[in-house]
Structures are given as structure tokens and as C-alpha cells.
């Protein structure tokens, strides 16, 4: 296998893993799989692109502003589209439709404000998108940084889950009512998780922008590949998501190099179906025994 | 299920308008074109509603199944000169077949996996249409799809319109028949109360699959007409927006209502005309509407209509006519099934819930399992009925080892059960809940049910009578037409027992049937259990109410912390020292037992 | 302390509650005074657990009033009720089985600001009362035996030093020796001034350690009074054993030793 294909698979896979982690952040306390997540990633990329390329803000300021802005949008989504549905029924799936509706609204509004043209986003200082020609692979310093940053981010997220708040999130995921009896407020954790999950998605968008450009078409693609990574890596398992992200990224790159780029999605789709058929809980989850 | 609010006259008038339309508009008029298109969309929407509304599986990629039908017809008729009808059938089969292949893993998982997978399927399919240029002609699409013909006569716009109307009406009727059959009841059960579906022997996976196959096939046939109506089929016709459009149609009309998709599609066709100037805002409006509807009118326009109707014309408290019409019949004897459990073990984490339990329930006995809370009684019941898998041991039902069979297969073998908290389907009437019990007993298949073949109809009628009989048997026949969610707790328990009997259960497992019953309800329950045993059925009852146990049980096993403490005749067992200790604690003994 | 002896710590007045269309509790009134053990007895389905759920805010009462420590908590949210010092250890313990014993104990003090000394003091107290937990701190809670799980559930509540602890069937599935340990812990907690509202199937045993008792049947309180009187009265027998009593079943005639 071409080392270059592999390297680019890992780069793309890192992005998918980040999207998957952002799914997980939101999913854990709410059991909601946000169909608007792809558009939140896109929104992050667009806002960041506008703030840096168009408004000329410094990288860090724009970065922070983007995260807060998209986090707030996630919070608004939770308040309007998710909380009322969950209040009606904790187990229903009405949120599939409402979060999908949210994604339609975001993508169309963004489309109207920004138009369809992709915006070029430059990597932060010291890094560049120029190929480095390390051995057989043509990978850029930014791409190497992205892979490393992804590892660090997943490690940080995992650390957050070892704090008391993080443990409370896991407690809510396991038994919402039992958490209530310990004074944990699942509603507040759900709102926090939507804020952080959306901010994380926005960060993924910011990180993806130099590679993929900021454009409105970013959403659906990353939604599905992020889902693929989350499902293959077992929903809620961030380390699983990281490895599954690599698997998806490399599969996609190899598939595209062997067949034609048009088959990328088809190859991933078949891999996901095969994994779910053989291991419905994904590669890294164990079927949890439940007592009723 | 609540019957149509839309009166028959309105239905007939709607059909009349549909049939008369061509007389008022030109054969090549835009109005006829739009009306034909409307019919095509309704066909697909009816299918999606069956899937999303009744079976609770939201498909976000329905456009892909329409596309499969359309491309099948276009390619087969243009490139291979097949007749339309044969090509349409291939389109239906392909839509259903490819859909099932893709969705198969999703049926075992949470419903939103299905939503994601259909969304991804549609996206991949869209790409593949473009990619497989050699087959699909890529972006250019397939042009010049010939109109259908029959007996050498080529269909013009009018005959095509009539054909579409006919197919729409047929689709509506078939789906209505399915919804009102055991399949429809199973759809709702799987959607709302999966354990109840298992208890009556309906496999959730297979039930979802059936709903999906029907739905995808209807999308396929809609696609077939789509191709001949437009005469050109291109990838642009089947984008993600198109899937959203179908979803919105169904949500707008009312998810899980028969008329929803029709109302939704009608309204939808009016809106674009009204909002012609807002074309570029279309998807934004769709998104806003979807969100608003789900939040404020989850049952759509039909639901809103129904609510308004009920407010203005509250239905007279109907003393169920059904109750009087069927006279009390004695039920034929039931050949009870024995149950032999040996060495049964089950551990949950560090807690040994069952630690090697043996018991033998003779056929036709009324066998009670008692013991303090937490002694493993309900775990035992859940293991015997296949809801849990034991760590070790054997469960023999009749002469057959039941271990490893799923809950729904054990149910199909004649094991009925009730739950500690009654698991009725709140949206179905008491009668429908009982009829759901007959799921595995009904012989009529999907096709004969959908077509309402005479034998299927006769069977449905017979089962309805039988279900009424069982409602009467348990003493709640007057509730037959009331939705289960509105029925008091105590009666729900009785309906659950009727449901188990309706399934032809020869071994009935009752999980704390007396909990929460009033004195009078308790007496009714006691008589009922004795009557069921009197018919010959085997009953295993897990119960705390020792009075009830003493009165009805022929055998008793006492469990304590996962082991059998004592077993035998009730009188003897209740005298056992160890039993008292388990129940009352150490000190009860010291205090002395009354002579 | 705000609550005085004359004013009950917890007072529920004419509470109705249920699930969906089903009303389980009908006009239930109970009082729990400070430092007392109050036991609720009655058959399965009588509404005991529903009452605890109504008091802890899981099933908001549809009618009536609940006051705790001088505050109206009828419509308070569960976490606010916990913060007020009313803790509910649910039936079946409801631990976070996948998390460690230590994490479960930590979750018991969620959202509570404790100094390090205070935190350690509370953990020490838990270890004193339940030494076995100290050995198991790093194991997942799900791997504990039933008795240890019950101790852990009580330990979680102890992290908050509750004013009133509601225990739903603490003896569930436990061997007699462990039941004795759990009951001893309940007495120890009372000695520290904690009021206990106990739902218990080991009626005899529970009445022995209780100060006051309520008998419930079909969602109503049918008798109440000092535990000793209830133990000797007929209401208990009617509610728990059925009017006739099981054949030759021991009748809980005698009061505590």
C-alpha cells in the first residue's frame, strides 16, 4: 500500500474521529445523536474563515470566538429542538426529525449568508499546507500537526470524563433517575454537553478548514463520516472513535486509490454495514448486561 | 386504533373529485400533470408513513427508493424495451431488496441508526447513479421513457392519471388493511412497547423488516410512475431534498394516521403554488416546518383536525356494542404445558440473582413462586420466558429445551406472560391489545391480509369474536373499544391476561398480578386464575399476596436469595420454619408460632 | 437547626401521586420527626415506593403538600430536594454499576463544596461504618455483592450528611447477617441525628427498630402510630397478611423486645 495514501487516510480519519467525539460528548448524557452535528462543524469553519480571512482577526481570537458562538447555537438547539421533545418522552425518537430540521435550517441560512463559494483558510503561523516530501509521502506540516492535535484533544476529553462532572455525565448515561437521586441535574448536564459538543464540532470545523476549505458542503459529508466513525468505534467510546476514524479514513483513501474517488462513500458505507452486521455495538463496545 | 374521523361521504367525494378532474381540464394541461404527480407522491408518502408513523422507523433516504423504481423502469424500457409493467415490478423488488440489504444491521439497533443508514444509503446511491455512467448515463440521465401501454394501446396523460389514481387507492386500501391487521398491531407494539411484542411472539426485527419492505416497494412503484410521467430521469431528481420533502409530507399530514400522507401531500402541493416567489427559501421553510410541527403538532394536520373534532363533537360514551353481541361461551379446555427448570443460575455483576434453582411445574397445575423481594422470582420468570439468558441450567417447556430460544420464539411455543407493570400498547384499544396476543396464531400472511382474501377476513372476524370472548372471560368486555392508556391499572392487568390467553398460551406466567389491586379486583383475579386453571392451562404465578397464593395454588416454591428454600403443597410450605424466617426475619421465630 | 421537636422535619399532607393516567396514592399524609426512624409497611403495590418517589420529586405529587425542614418542596426539582438534605436510596440501590466504588462515593457529593478535611472526614466516617467498602474502593460497583451494594448506596447518601434518609427495601435480597449489618447502620445513623424513613418488607424486624410506623394499603394510609402499637394492632395484619392470614402464618403480634 502506498504510504502516501495511508498518511492522507490518517489525516482525514483524524477529522472523522473529532466529529465522532463531538457526537459522543453530546450523546452521553442525553442519548441524542445530533443530526445537525455536521452543520455545526460547517458553521465553525465558516465563522472562523470569515473572522480570519475576511475580518482579519488574529487566529486565537477568531478560534475562541468561533467556539463560543457555535457552542451557543448548540445550546439554542438543545433548548428549542431537543429539550421539549425529551420532556414529552425520554425514549421517543422525535429528536431525529427535529435535529434534522435544525440541520436544514442552519445549512440553508449559512448558504444564504455566505453563498456557495468555498473560502480558503490559511493554517496558523509556523504551519503550512506545503508538502514536506517526507520519504514517499507528501504530507504538510499542518496535517502532521492536525494528527497530533487530534490525539491530544481525545486525551483531554477523556481526562474531562475523569473529573466529577465527567463522572456525573457517565452516571446520567447509565441511569438518569439514579443520578437525579444523587442531586445530579441531568438537564443542566445536557445543556452543558450540547454547548461543549457544538463547540467541539466547531473546533473540528476550524481544524478542517485549511485542508477542506470552508464551504457549506462540508456538513453532510462530515455528518455521515463522523457517524461512521462513532458507530464503528462504539457509540460513546472516544478512544474507539479515534481508531475507527483512522479505519474509516484509511479505508476511504485506499478505496479511492484502487477504485475511483466516486466510490469513497460507497466503500465506507459497506464497511460500516459489515461492522454493524457482525458487531452491532461497534468494534470497541461490549454489550452491556442490563438488569430490569 | 382510532378509526377514521373522515366520514365515508367525504372519502367518496374526494375520490369523485379525483376521478372527475380530467373531465374539467385538458389532457395536456398543467393541472392534470400536477394531479398525476400528486398521486405519485401520495403513493410514496403512504409507504413512508407506514414505516415512520406506525413502525416508528424514520427513513431519511426515501428518495433513493423512489429513484431505484424510476431508474429500473427508465433503463429497462428505454434500453431493453421491456414493457412498463414488468419493469415496474422489477423496480419494486429492487427497491425493497436493496433497501433491506442496507438496512438489515439497523433493525437490531436503536431506531436512529436506521435514520442514519437510510440517509447514508440515499447519499451513496446518488453518487453511484453518477458514477455508473455506463449504466445510468450519469448526469445526462435517461431520456425518452415511453408511456405504459396495454393491449397495444399507449397511455396518454389521462389514462396515466387514472392508473395513478387507481394505484393510489389500491395502495391506500392495502396499507389500511395491513394497519388494521395483526401486522399493524405488531408495528405499533414494536414502536411503543417492545417487550409486549416479544411476549406475543412478534419478532421486532422481522416486524420492522416487513414495514420497511412494504414501504420501499411502494416507493419503488411510485418511482416507476415518476419515470413514465416525467419521461426523463436524472440524478438531480433524487437529491436529499426530495427525501426531506417526503418526510415533511408525512409529518405535516400526521405521522401514524392513515389519512395523514394524503392530507400532507395535498397541502404541500398548494403551498408551493402560494409561495412561488419564495422558491429559494424552500429548504429553509421545510426545516422550519418540520421543527414547528414536531414541537407543536406531533400528529400533524390530521391530529389537529381530530382534536378539534373531538372537542366540538365529543363521542357519546359508547357502551360497547360489542360486549352485548357476543354471548358468554365456555372456553374449550386448554392442554397445559409443564415446565421443568434445573440448575438455573444467573448473576448480575456481583449479585447472584439465582443460584441453582430446580423446580418442576406439572402440566395443568397452578404453581406459585413466593419469596421476599429480591429473592429472584422475577428473574426466574424472565429466564423462563427468554427475556434473559441464564449463566447455567436448563429450562424445559413441555418436552422441549427452551434455553437459547429468544423470547418471541418461546412465546410462539405457547408460553404467555404478564408483566409486573402491565405492558399494554396505550394507543391501541383493549380489543386490539387482546387481538395482538393472537399474533403467532393467525395464519393469514401479509399478502392475504393486505388483499383481505375471504379466508383472511373470516379469520380476522373469528379472532375478533374470540378476543371479545376473552375480554368477557376476564370481565372487562365493556372496555373493548377504549384505548388501553385510558384504562385503570387493575383492568389493564386483566387485559394483559386476556392477551396471553388469546395467544393460545398453555403455560401462563403471571408476574405479581395482585400488586396494586383493590380488594374487589383481587377477588376477581382469584376467581379468574382458578377458572383458567380449571380449563387445564398451567399457571406459574409469582406473588407476594400469600392469601391469594394459598387459595389458588396447588404447589408452592419459596425462593430466598436465589435458592429454593422450600417446595410442596401450600399448607405444608407455609408451615415451614425457614419460610417464616425468610419472610419475617429471625425474630419472628423466637416470638413463637401460633399453634 | 431550624426544625424543632414540635415541628416535623418532613410533613406530607393529603398527597396524591401516580404514573400517567394511573393514580397510585390517594390523599396520603405522613410526618417524620427529627432523629426518628419511621417505617412504612404494606403489601407490594400498596404505594410505599410511589410515596418515596413523590417525596423525592421523581413523581411530582398531583395534589397535596410536602414540606421539609420548613420549606415547601411539593414542586421542587429532585436535585433541589437532595440539596435540602432529603435523600432517597431507591429500591434495588440503583448504583452506577460501571463506575468504581470510590467514584460512586464521590458522586454522592456531587455539586457539594467540601473542604478537603471535611471531605476526608465524611469518607472516614463511611469507612468506619462500612469497613468492607474501604477494601473495594477501586472495583466497579456492579461487582459488589448485594449487601455491599446496599452499603455503598447508603454511603453515597452519607456524603451529603442528610437530615432525612429514605431507604426503599434495604434488605432486598440480603442474607440475614447482612440485613443485621444494614439495620445496625440505620441505628447508627439515627444516633447521629439523621431521621430515617424506611420501607421494608421484613416488617417485624423493621418495626422493632422503628419509632413510628405507617401502614399503607391500596394507596392510602390505613393506620399510623408508635411502632410498638402498630406491631400489636390489627391494621398491620389486615394490610400485610390479608384478612384471613395465610394458613398458619406467623402473626406479628408482639412488639419489639
Over residues B583-593, the pLDDT tens digits come to 655 444 444 33
B518 pLDDT band (50/70/90 cuts)?
confident
Could you tell me the pLDDT band of residue B314, with boundaries at 50, 70 and 90?
A: low
- Residue B177, classed as helix, strand or coil, is helix
B386-399 per-position pLDDT tens digit? 999 999 999 999 88
**A286 close to B (CB below 8 A):** no
Tell whether the model's pLDDT for residue C248 goes beyond 80. Answer: no
C-alpha cell, B270 = 398548494
Asked if the Cβ–Cβ distance from C110 to A178 is below 8 Å, we say no
Does A15 reside within a domain?
yes
Q: Mutating which of C39, C140, C242 best tests the B interface, going by the most B Cβ atoms within 10 A?
A: C242
Task: With beta carbons under 8 A apart, name residues in chain B contacting A88.
Answer: 298
Confidence of residue B488 (pLDDT cuts 50, 70, 90): confident
Percent of chain B with pLDDT over 70: 92
Q: pLDDT tens for residues C42-64?
A: 888 889 999 999 999 999 999 99
Q: How many structural domains are present in chain A?
A: 1
Residue A286 has a pLDDT of 52
Q: What is the DSSP letter of B104?
A: G
Residue C251 has pLDDT above 90, yes or no: no
Q: Tell whether the model's pLDDT for residue A54 goes beyond 70.
A: yes
Instruction: Give pLDDT tens digits for C82-132.
Output: 999 999 999 988 999 999 999 999 999 998 999 999 999 999 999 999 999
CB atoms within 10 A of CB A154: 20
A200-217: per-residue pLDDT in tens? Answer: 999 999 999 999 988 988
Q: Residue B27: its pLDDT value, please?
A: 76
Q: Is the pLDDT at C3 greater than 70, yes or no? A: no
Please compute the mean of the pLDDT values over residues B314-319 and round it to a whole number.
52
User: Which residues from C are below 8 Å from B580, CB to CB?
Assistant: 249-250
Residue A275 in domain:
no
Least trusted range by pLDDT, from B208-212, B263-267, B480-484, C19-23: C19-23
CATH level 2 (architecture), domain B30-312: Orthogonal Bundle (1.10)
pLDDT at B583: 66
Q: What mean pLDDT do residues B286-291 have?
A: 92
Strands B400-401 and B392-397 come out as: antiparallel
Residues of chain A positioned with their CB less than 8 A from the CB of B287: 101-105, 108
Q: How far apart are CA B231 and CA B245, in angstroms?
A: 21
CB contact under 8 Å between A98 and B295, yes or no, is yes
The predicted structure's pLDDT at residue A59: 92
The pLDDT of residue C125 is 94
pLDDT for residue B10: 83
Average per-residue pLDDT in chain B?
A: 88
**Half-sphere exposure for B380 (CA within 13 Å, toward CB):** 38
The residues spanned by each domain of chain B are 30-312, 339-590
Q: Model confidence at A288, in pLDDT bands (50, 70, 90)? A: very low
Tell me how long chain B is. 595
Task: Give per-residue pLDDT as tens, A248-262.
Answer: 999 999 988 888 888
For residue A55, the model assigns a pLDDT of 86
Task: Please give the full DSSP string across B411-470, using - where no structure is assigned.
Answer: HHTTEEE--SS----TTSBHHHHHHHTTTTT----HHHHHTT-HHHHHHHHHHHHHHHHH
List the subunits that have 3+ CB pairs under 8 angstroms with B. A, C
CB contact under 8 A, C172 and B374: yes
Host domain of residue A15: 3-217
Residues of chain A with C-beta less than 8 angstroms from the C-beta of C173: none
Q: What is the mean pLDDT of residues B518-538?
A: 90
Examine the pLDDT at B93 and tell me if it is beyond 80.
Answer: yes
Residue A281 counted as domain residue: no
CA distance A240 to B85: 49
Quick check: helix, strand or coil at residue C131? helix
Whether C106 and A164 lie within 8 Å, measured CB to CB: yes
From chain C residues 167-226, the ones with a CB under 8 A of any chain A CB are none
Q: What cell was used for C243?
A: 384478612
Mean pLDDT over B268-273 rounds to 73
What would the pLDDT profile of B122-159 be if each residue is shown by its tens digit? Answer: 999 998 998 888 888 888 899 999 999 888 888 989 99
For the segment A70-129, what is each residue's pLDDT rounded down to a tens digit?
A: 999 999 999 999 999 998 887 777 999 999 999 999 999 999 888 888 988 888 888 888
Mutate to test the interface with B, among A20, A95, A104, A109 (most CBs of B within 10 A): A104
Average pLDDT value for residue range B345-374: 91
Locate A185 and state its grid cell: 441535574
Q: Which residue of B has its CA nearest to C219?
A: B516
* Amino acid A289: pLDDT: 33
Identify the band that residue B582 occupies on the pLDDT scale cut at 50, 70 and 90.
low
Contact C214, C30 (CB under 8 A): yes
Lay out the sheet containing B563-568: strands in order across. Answer: B415-417, B507-511, B538-542, B366-370, B555-560, B563-568
Is C247 in Cβ contact with B585 (below 8 Å)? no
> Residue C1: its pLDDT value, please?
45
Cell of B528: 379468574
The pLDDT confidence band at residue B315, using thresholds 50, 70 and 90, is low
Could you tell me the pTM of the whole model?
A: 0.90
What integer best gives the mean pLDDT of chain C? 88
Test B382 with A292 for CB contact under 8 angstroms.
yes
Those residues whose C-beta lies under 8 Å from the C-beta of residue B319, and which sit 6 or more positions away, are: B478
Task: Locate all alpha helices (DSSP H) within chain C, ordered by sequence.
Answer: 48-55, 78-84, 101-107, 116-129, 131-135, 146-158, 176-191, 203-209, 227-232, 234-236
Give CATH superfamily name and number for B339-590: P-loop containing nucleotide triphosphate hydrolases (3.40.50.300)
Interface with chain B: mutation pick from C220, C249, C252, C255, highest number of B CBs within 10 Å = C249
Q: Torsions phi, psi of C199, nearest 5?
A: -105, 125
Asked if residue B317 has pLDDT above 70, the reply is no
Q: Which of B469, B467, B475, B508 is nearest to B492 (CA)?
A: B475
Residue A211 lies in a domain: yes
- Point out the residue among C92, C141, C249 whose CB comes nearest to the CB of B574: C249
Amino acid at each position: 500500500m502506498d504510504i502516501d495514501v495511508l498518511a492522507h487516510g490518517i489525516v482525514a480519519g483524524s477529522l472523522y474521529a473529532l466529529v465522532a467525539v463531538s457526537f459522543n460528548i453530546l450523546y452521553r448524557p442525553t442519548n441524542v445523536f445530533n443530526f445537525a452535528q455536521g452543520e455545526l462543524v460547517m458553521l465553525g469553519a465558516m465563522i472562523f474563515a470569515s473572522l480570519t480571512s475576511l475580518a482579519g482577526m488574529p487566529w486565537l481570537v477568531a478560534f475562541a470566538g468561533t467556539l463560543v458562538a457555535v457552542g451557543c447555537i448548540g445550546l439554542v438547539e438543545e433548548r428549542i429542538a431537543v429539550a421539549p421533545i425529551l420532556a414529552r418522552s425520554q425514549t421517543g425518537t422525535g429528536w431525529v426529525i427535529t435535529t434534522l430540521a435544525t440541520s436544514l435550517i442552519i445549512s440553508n441560512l449559512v448558504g444564504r449568508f455566505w453563498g456557495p463559494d468555498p473560502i480558503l483558510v490559511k493554517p496558523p503561523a509556523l504551519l503550512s499546507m506545503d508538502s514536506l516530501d517526507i520519504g514517499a509521502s507528501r504530507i504538510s506540516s499542518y496535517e502532521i500537526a492536525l494528527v497530533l492535535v487530534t490525539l491530544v484533544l481525545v486525551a483531554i476529553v477523556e481526562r474531562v470524563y475523569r473529573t466529577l462532572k465527567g463522572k456525573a455525565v457517565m452516571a446520567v448515561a447509565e441511569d438518569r433517575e439514579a443520578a437525579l437521586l444523587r442531586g445530579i441535574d441531568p438537564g443542566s448536564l445536557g445543556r452543558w454537553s450540547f454547548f461543549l459538543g457544538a463547540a467541539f464540532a466547531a473546533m473540528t470545523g476550524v481544524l478542517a478548514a485549511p485542508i477542506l476549505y470552508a464551504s457549506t458542503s462540508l456538513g453532510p459529508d462530515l455528518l455521515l463520516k463522523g457517524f461512521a466513525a462513532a458507530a464503528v468505534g462504539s457509540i460513546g467510546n472516544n478512544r474507539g472513535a479515534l481508531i475507527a476514524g483512522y479505519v474509516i479514513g484509511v479505508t476511504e483513501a485506499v478505496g479511492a486509490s484502487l477504485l475511483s474517488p466516486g466510490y469513497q462513500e460507497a466503500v465506507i458505507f459497506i464497511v460500516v454495514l459489515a461492522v454493524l452486521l457482525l458487531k452491532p455495538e461497534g468494534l470497541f463496545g461490549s454489550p452491556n448486561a442490563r438488569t430490569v | 386504533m382510532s378509526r377514521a374521523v373522515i366520514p365515508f361521504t367525504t372519502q367518496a367525494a374526494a375520490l369523485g373529485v379525483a376521478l372527475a378532474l380530467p373531465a374539467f381540464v385538458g389532457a395536456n394541461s398543467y393541472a392534470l400533470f400536477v394531479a398525476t404527480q400528486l398521486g405519485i407522491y401520495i403513493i410514496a408518502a403512504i409507504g413512508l408513513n407506514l414505516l415512520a408513523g406506525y413502525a416508528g422507523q424514520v427513513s431519511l433516504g426515501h428518495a433513493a427508493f423512489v429513484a431505484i423504481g424510476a431508474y429500473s423502469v427508465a433503463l429497462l424500457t428505454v434500453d431493453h424495451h421491456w414493457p412498463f409493467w414488468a419493469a415496474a415490478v422489477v423496480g419494486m423488488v429492487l427497491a425493497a431488496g436493496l433497501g433491506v440489504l442496507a438496512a438489515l444491521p439497523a433493525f437490531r439497533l436503536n431506531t436512529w441508526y436506521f435514520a442514519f443508514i437510510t440517509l447514508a444509503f440515499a447519499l451513496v446511491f446518488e453518487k453511484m447513479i453518477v458514477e455508473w455512467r455506463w449504466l445510468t448515463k450519469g448526469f445526462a440521465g435517461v431520456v425518452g421513457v415511453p408511456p405504459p401501454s396495454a393491449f397495444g394501446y399507449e397511455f396518454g396523460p389521462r389514462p396515466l392519471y387514472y392508473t395513478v389514481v387507481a394505484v393510489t387507492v389500491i395502495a391506500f386500501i392495502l396499507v389500511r388493511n395491513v394497519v388494521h391487521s395483526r401486522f399493524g398491531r405488531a408495528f405499533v407494539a414494536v414502536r411503543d412497547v417492545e417487550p409486549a411484542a416479544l411476549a406475543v411472539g412478534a419478532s421486532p426485527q422481522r416486524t420492522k423488516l416487513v414495514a420497511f419492505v412494504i414501504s420501499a416497494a411502494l416507493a419503488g412503484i411510485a418511482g416507476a410512475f415518476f419515470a413514465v410521467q416525467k419521461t426523463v430521469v436524472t440524478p438531480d431528481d433524487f437529491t436529499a431534498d426530495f427525501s426531506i420533502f417526503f418526510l415533511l409530507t408525512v409529518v405535516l399530514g400526521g405521522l401514524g394516521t392513515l389519512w395523514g400522507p394524503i392530507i400532507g401531500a395535498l397541502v404541500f402541493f398548494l403551498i408551493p403554488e402560494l409561495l412561488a416567489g419564495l422558491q429559494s427559501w424552500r429548504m429553509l421553510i421545510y426545516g422550519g416546518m418540520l421543527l414547528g410541527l414536531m414541537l407543536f403538532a406531533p400528529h400533524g394536520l390530521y391530529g389537529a383536525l381530530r382534536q378539534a373534532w373531538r372537542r366540538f363533537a365529543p363521542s357519546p360514551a359508547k357502551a360497547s356494542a360489542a360486549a352485548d353481541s357476543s354471548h358468554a361461551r365456555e372456553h374449550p379446555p386448554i392442554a397445559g404445558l409443564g415446565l421443568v427448570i434445573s440448575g438455573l443460575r444467573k448473576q448480575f455483576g456481583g449479585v447472584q440473582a439465582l443460584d441453582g434453582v430446580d423446580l418442576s411445574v406439572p402440566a395443568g397445575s397452578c404453581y406459585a413462586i413466593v419469596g421476599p423481594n429480591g429473592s429472584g422470582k422475577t428473574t426466574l420468570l424472565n429466564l423462563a420466558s427468554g427475556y434473559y439468558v441464564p449463566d447455567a441450567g436448563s429450562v424445559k417447556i413441555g418436552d422441549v429445551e427452551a434455553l437459547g430460544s429468544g423470547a418471541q420464539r418461546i412465546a410462539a411455543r405457547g408460553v404467555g406472560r404478564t408483566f409486573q407493570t402491565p405492558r399494554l400498547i396505550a394507543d391501541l384499544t383493549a380489543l386490539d391489545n387482546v387481538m395482538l396476543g393472537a399474533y403467532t396464531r393467525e395464519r393469514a400472511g401479509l399478502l392475504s391480509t393486505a388483499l383481505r382474501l375471504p379466508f383472511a377476513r373470516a379469520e380476522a372476524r373469528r379472532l375478533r369474536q374470540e378476543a371479545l370472548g376473552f375480554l368477557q372471560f376476564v370481565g372487562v368486555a365493556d372496555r373493548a373499544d377504549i384505548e388501553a392508556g385510558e384504562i385503570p391499572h387493575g383492568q389493564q392487568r386483566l387485559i394483559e391476561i386476556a392477551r396471553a390467553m388469546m395467544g393460545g398460551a398453555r403455560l401462563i406466567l403471571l408476574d405479581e398480578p395482585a400488586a396494586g389491586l383493590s380488594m374487589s379486583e383481587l377477588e376477581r383475579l382469584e376467581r379468574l386464575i382458578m377458572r383458567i386453571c380449571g380449563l387445564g392451562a398451567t399457571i406459574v404465578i409469582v406473588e407476594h399476596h400469600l392469601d391469594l397464593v394459598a387459595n389458588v395454588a396447588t404447589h408452592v416454591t419459596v425462593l430466598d436469595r436465589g435458592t429454593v428454600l422450600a417446595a410442596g403443597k401450600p399448607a405444608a410450605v407455609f408451615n415451614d420454619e425457614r419460610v417464616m424466617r425468610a419472610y419475617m426475619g429471625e425474630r419472628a421465630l423466637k416470638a413463637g408460632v401460633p399453634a | 437547626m431550624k426544625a424543632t421537636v414540635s415541628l416535623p422535619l418532613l410533613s406530607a399532607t393529603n398527597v396524591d401521586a401516580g404514573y400517567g393516567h394511573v393514580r397510585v396514592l390517594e390523599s396520603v399524609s405522613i410526618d417524620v420527626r427529627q432523629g426518628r426512624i419511621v417505617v412504612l409497611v404494606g403489601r407490594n403495590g400498596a404505594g410505599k415506593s410511589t410515596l418515596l418517589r413523590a417525596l423525592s420529586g421523581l413523581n411530582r405529587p398531583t395534589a397535596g403538600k410536602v414540606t421539609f425542614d420548613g420549606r415547601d418542596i411539593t414542586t421542587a426539582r429532585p436535585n433541589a430536594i437532595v440539596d435540602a438534605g432529603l435523600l432517597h436510596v431507591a429500591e434495588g440501590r440503583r448504583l452506577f454499576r460501571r463506575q468504581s466504588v470510590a467514584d460512586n462515593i464521590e458522586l454522592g457529593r456531587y455539586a457539594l463544596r467540601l473542604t478537603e478535611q471535611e471531605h476526608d472526614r465524611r469518607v472516614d466516617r463511611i469507612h468506619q461504618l462500612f469497613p468492607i467498602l474501604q477494601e473495594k474502593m477501586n472495583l466497579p460497583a456492579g461487582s459488589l455483592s448485594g449487601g455491599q451494594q446496599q452499603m455503598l448506596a447508603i454511603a453515597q447518601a452519607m456524603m451529603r450528611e442528610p437530615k432525612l434518609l429514605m431507604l426503599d427495601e434495604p434488605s432486598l435480597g440480603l442474607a440475614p447477617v447482612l440485613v443485621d449489618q444494614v439495620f445496625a447502620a440505620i441505628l447508627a445513623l439515627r444516633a447521629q441525628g439523621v431521621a430515617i424513613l424506611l420501607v421494608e418488607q421484613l416488617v417485624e424486624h423493621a418495626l422493632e427498630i422503628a419509632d413510628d410506623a405507617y401502614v399503607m394499603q391500596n394507596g392510602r394510609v390505613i393506620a399510623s402510630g408508635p411502632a410498638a402499637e402498630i406491631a400489636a394492632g390489627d391494621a398491620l395484619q389486615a394490610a400485610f397478611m390479608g384478612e384471613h392470614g395465610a394458613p398458619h402464618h406467623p402473626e406479628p403480634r408482639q412488639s419489639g423486645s
